[in-house]
Amino acid sequence: MVDEVKLTITLETTLAARLSAAAAERGWSAEDLAAECVAQHLEVALRHRILIERMEQVDAAILDMAQAVGELGAPSAGIDLSRVCRYRKDTGDSDPA
């Protein structure tokens, strides 16, 4: 299995000069600094995508729950919903439902 993949990056001359200067300040080669920057940005992009996917899953689950609650709360024939709740206003009815 290959441990590394080679990429070719084309930069504008001004950006390449800034990259070379920044690498020299740190004692790195410009190639190593560019590779480190690309690796960090790819890691951030992957984490961002995972977070977006998880948010979409949570949104779908919330929508499913809201639909289920809506279906449960929908009026249906034959059931007196006012008698379902045990904490209801006393109407003087002697029949405790």
Q: What is the token pair recorded at 14? A: 């001004």
Cα(47)–Cα(45) distance, integer angstroms:
5
Domain ranges for the chain, please list them.
Answer: 30-71
- Measure the CA angle with vertex 88, ends 81 and 97; round to 5°: 65
Helix 30-73 × helix 13-26 angle, to 10°? 100
| pLDDT score, position 42 | 95
DSSP state of 83: G
| pLDDT score, position 40 | 96
Taking only the tens of pLDDT, the chain with its 97 residues reads: 678 888 899 999 999 999 999 999 999 999 999 999 999 999 999 999 999 999 999 999 999 898 888 777 776 666 666 666 666 566 665 555 5
| pLDDT score, position 28 | 96
| pLDDT score, position 79 | 62
